[in-house]
Structure 1
């Protein structure tokens, strides 16, 4: 499976850690799901799929 390294400020990383913890999840899982949701969002729809090109 492919990976991705993302850079965060200390403040962003703290916020990510706190939010994941509040949901009882790990940061990697939380960040993964947030990225996938963002990719699939379109105005008025949540069914957009990324192009495979």
Structure 2
């Protein structure tokens, strides 16, 4: 799963030669872990945002 997040950011969020910053914040809550992942990539255009929750 974490590999997929990193690969997706590197493949889609940055232009060639652009420096990437990826951030993981992991917090323990009793019996659970919360993982927050962020990158500072170029973002998604409006068309992609509208389709983000559609199945393949």
TM-score, normalisation: structure 1: 0.31
Q: When the two structures are superposed, what TM-score results if normalisation uses the length of structure 2?
A: 0.29
Higher relative contact order (CA 8 A, sep 6+): 2
Higher Cα Rg, which structure: 2
Structure with the higher strand share, 1 or 2: 2
